[in-house]
Amino acid sequence: MSDSSLTTVGIDFGGTSVKLGVCRAGELLHTDAPITTGDFHGPAALITEMAARVAKLREIYPDIAAIGVGVPGLVDFEHGFVHVLTNVPGWKHVPLKAILSEKTGLPVVVENDANAMAYAEFRYGAGRGLNNIVALTMGTGIGGGLILNGQMYRGVGCAAGEIGQMSIDADGKSGHYGNLGALEKYVGNKEIAEHAMQRYAEAHVTKTLEECTPKRIADAAKAGDDIARQIWEEIADWLGTALASIAWLLNPDAFIIGGGVAQAGNLIFDPLQRKVQSMLSTVVWERLQILPAKYSNEAGIIGNASLAADAV
Amino acid sequence: MSDSSLTTVGIDFGGTSVKLGVCRAGELLHTDAPITTGDFHGPAALITEMAARVAKLREIYPDIAAIGVGVPGLVDFEHGFVHVLTNVPGWKHVPLKAILSEKTGLPVVVENDANAMAYAEFRYGAGRGLNNIVALTMGTGIGGGLILNGQMYRGVGCAAGEIGQMSIDADGKSGHYGNLGALEKYVGNKEIAEHAMQRYAEAHVTKTLEECTPKRIADAAKAGDDIARQIWEEIADWLGTALASIAWLLNPDAFIIGGGVAQAGNLIFDPLQRKVQSMLSTVVWERLQILPAKYSNEAGIIGNASLAADAV
């Protein structure tokens, strides 16, 4: 980490929209109107628009010193090369860092989105001051990012942190890659909804999938619905099994959990704490924190801007 | 890592014996007769004997520059403090580094034994040149050590690498800490033997526990015993599930496997490769190696000596 007080641009590139912001020392100084990803066909047009946005931001913030871009897919961090973005047509083998840097004249870093979120929590969020952090983002899938020995940990192919693919049952449900027991087949938003529908059906209560989102199940549990409370206990059992395994392996300072499931608050964090504690030794448990993420929508912008500030 | 060409002493402190050797650049120059742990009651007497041995070794190798000690239990690496050695009476809260350094006048590092073995493989063994290594030692229990981003990774309480406690089944067999599905309850030597006895019994073959050690099951499989081959497939399924989860999380360069199970060679490594590949994406699999450890009995001495050489 070098000069984290630099003013930098963070770009959070998602399948639907590209969000841009200007940050300094983890503070979001300015948020730009998002770019609609689908309005720009192919990488060249979209990168040109990103560069145009950055040029306008520099009129307001002439001290902008670098750009960090987070993308929803596999990147080569060292070269700022995007291998492939499954949910964005045309994004395959794109030298994003080289092109954006050439167009703007600024240093550029390119990171995976889950890693950027983990970095935001590490530098300025719930994990500030901690050296070993496992961050999870829970939604349709379960993403993750790792800070180990006070550094971003990416693995040999920049593919580390795929917590949703870890197995919680050697004979369990098949994941996207044929991986039996994949965690996200138990605690992904869709799978939670399907499981909840089934639990209600067993109790002769008919609910639609839309009535079984994490938010709706949380609302029901808060209103005293015993079935909903039991569903949160089950989610905690599955998620807690995976977190305990990670804790045995990495003996981290903290898990930091963001996304829809985390918004259930104590409904998930209380049984999760109990489950994880029940699976660990005192030594591993006593220094472990299980925390909600500080950031939500702005995590990508702040994380990418911070990565850029620390890299130059 | 500083001057790895220094001559250093590696001490491999086990529950039964304390092994000592002199190393330079990963080469074992001299192995001392082992100290019988039980002959010395309490830390003071045993540390005095270690210091006496080192003094004699310095008569032969006057350039000995540091000492590395690996212990079978929890240590605070930074302070060289031994929290507790479960299998060695009287070893609780021992400032080993301070005492041994004071007695010898040499710099001392104190490490967990599984970490020292991982370090030996990283610096001079099967993982030489790789940055991200997960090392396993398979015996009664399953120990592990992690090298991440080219550094030893210890976790916040120096307790990382407990691969044997990771869960492969959220509803599975209870581990030592009440942790359901603990890997070592499936692939520890005793559990393998019990499982094998049961498989043979199902086929109306009576075998004793002693006839079902990993070595005996390997011999039987090599002799064409179908039940024994099937047992190795099952071991590969369980172990492979855990390794795949670790691979999703850490995207490592290599798993390095030592101990009794690893000595079965292709009988375990072939089905293990297939199982792990079946659980991973191409991106994670294509850069992953699953390797037998280079070192066996000498791993502790070489690892601890290397840690000492690199630390001073």
Other beta carbons within 10 Å of B173: 16
Average pLDDT over residues B270-279: 98
Determine the residue of chain B that is closest to A176 in CA distance: B281
Q: What is the CATH number of the domain that holds A113?
A: 3.30.420.40
| Residue with tokens 């905690």, as numbered in its chain | A236
Q: What is the extent of the structural domain holding A67?
A: 7-120+298-311
Check residue B108 and give left, alpha or beta (phi > 0: left; psi -120 to 50: alpha).
beta
ipTM of the complex: 0.96
Pairing of strands B133-138, B254-259: parallel
A118 with A303: CB under 8 angstroms?
yes
Cβ contact, residue pair B287, A156, below 8 Å: yes
Rounded to whole angstroms, the Cα distance separating A292 from A255 reads 8
CB < 8 Å to A163, chain B: 248-249
The pLDDT profile of chain A, 312 residues, written as one tens digit per residue, is: 556 789 999 999 998 999 999 999 999 999 999 999 999 989 999 999 999 999 999 999 999 999 999 999 999 999 999 999 988 999 999 999 999 999 999 999 999 999 999 999 999 999 999 999 999 999 999 999 999 999 999 999 999 999 999 999 999 999 999 999 999 999 999 999 999 999 999 999 999 999 999 999 999 999 999 999 999 999 999 999 999 999 999 999 999 999 989 999 999 999 999 999 999 999 999 999 999 999 999 999 999 999 999 998
Average pLDDT in chain B: 96
Beta-carbon count within 10 A of A3 CB: 10
pLDDT attached to residue B2? 56
Which residues are CB-neighbours of A233 under 8 A, at least 6 positions away? A271
Residue B256 covered by a domain = yes
Dist CA A112 CA A12 (whole Å)? 10
Contacts with B242 from chain A: Cβ below 8 Å = 167
| pLDDT value at residue B86 | 84
What is the distance between the alpha carbons of residues A175 and A292, in angstroms, rounded to a whole number?
Answer: 26
Q: Are residues A68 and A170 in the same domain?
A: no
Rounded to 5°, angle at Cα A129 from A127 and A135: 25
Query: B142 and B288: one domain?
Result: yes
User: For B239-263, how does the pLDDT look when each residue is reduced to its tens digit (9 = 90+)?
Assistant: 999 999 999 999 999 999 999 899 9
Q: Give the count of domains, chain B.
A: 2
- Examine residue B119 and state whether it is found in any structural domain, yes or no: no
Q: How far is B59 from chain A (nearest CA, A)?
A: 39
Structure tokens at A44: 């060249």
- pLDDT for B121 equals 98
Cβ-based contacts under 8 A for chains A and B: 159
B2 assigned to some structural domain: no
Other Cβ atoms less than 10 A from the Cβ of B180: the count is 21
Confirm whether B273 is domain-assigned.
yes
Q: What is the pLDDT of residues B52-109, one digit of tens each?
A: 999 999 999 999 999 999 999 999 999 999 999 988 999 999 999 999 999 999 999 9
Instruction: Say what the pLDDT of residue A3 is.
Output: 63
- Interface mutation target, options B149, B233, B250, chain A, most CBs of A under 10 Å: B250
Q: Do A162 and B284 touch (CB under 8 A)?
A: yes
Classify residue B1: in a domain, yes or no: no
Mutate to test the interface with B, among A134, A251, A253, A289 (most CBs of B within 10 A): A251
Query: Is residue A32 located within the same domain as residue A166?
Result: no
**Closest residue on chain A to B151 (Cα):** A149
Q: Model confidence over B105-153: pLDDT tens digits?
A: 999 999 999 999 999 999 999 999 999 999 999 999 999 999 999 999 9
Longest dimension (CA), chain B: 63
Q: Same domain, yes or no, for A98 and A66?
A: yes
- Nearest alpha-carbon partner for A131 in A285, A289, A3: A289
Q: Domain for residue A66, yes or no?
A: yes
Q: Do A249 and B149 count as a contact with CB atoms less than 8 A apart?
A: no
pTM: 0.97
> Are A177 and B281 within 8 A, CB to CB?
yes
Q: What is the model's pLDDT at position B46?
A: 96
CB contact set of A109 (below 8 Å; sequence gap of 6+): A66, A67, A68, A69, A77, A80, A97, A304, A307, A308, A311
Residue B120 resides in a domain = no
A108/A158 same-domain check:
no
For B151, the 3-state DSSP assignment is strand
Q: Which among A238, A239, A241, A274 is the top mutation candidate for probing chain B, defined by the most B β-carbons within 10 Å of its own β-carbon?
A: A241
pLDDT for B4 equals 75
Compute the distance between CA of residue B34 and CA of residue B19 in angstroms, rounded to an integer: 5
Residues B158 and B273 in one domain: yes
Residues B272, B303, single domain; the answer is no
The tokens of B275 are what?
A: 């199982």
Same domain, A248 and A148: yes
Chain B residues close to A250, C-beta within 8 Å: 146, 153, 155, 160
Give Cα separations from A134 to A53, A131, B124 (angstroms): 33, 10, 30
Q: DSSP assignment of chain A, as one string?
A: ---TTSEEEEEEE-SSEEEEEEEETTEEEEEPPPEEGGGS-SHHHHHHHHHHHHHHHHHH-TTEEEEEEEESSEEETTTTEEEE-TTSTT-EEE-HHHHHHHHHSS-EEEEEHHHHHHHHHHHHSTTTT-S-EEEEEESSSEEEEEEETTEEE--TTS----GGGSBSBTTS-B-TTS-BTBTHHHHSHHHHHHHHHHHHHHTT----GGGGSHHHHHHHHHTT-HHHHHHHHHHHHHHHHHHHHHHHHH--SEEEEEETGGGGTHHHHHHHHHHHHHTS-HHHHHT-EEEE-S-STTHHHHHHHHHHHHH-
Number of helices (H), then strands (E), belonging to chain B: the values are: 10, 14
Q: Cβ of B154 and A74 within 8 Å?
A: no
pLDDT at A139: 92
Q: Are residues B221 and B245 in the same domain?
A: yes
Q: How many residues make up chain A in this entry?
A: 312
Chain centroid to CA B241: how far?
20
In a domain, A35, yes or no: yes
Same domain, A197 and A262: yes
The answer to whether residue B1 scores a pLDDT higher than 80 is: no
Residues B61 and B184 in one domain: no
Residues of A in contact with B132 (CB under 8 A): 155-156
* Residue of A134, A274, A276, A279 to mutate for B, most B C-beta atoms under 10 A: A279
Q: Which helix (H) or strand (E) holds B69?
A: strand B64-71
pLDDT at A307 (0 to 100): 97
CA B235, CA A245: separation in Å to the nearest integer?
19
| pLDDT computed for residue A205 by the predictor | 95
Same domain, A115 and A141: no
HSE-up of A153 (CA within 13 Å, CB side)? 32
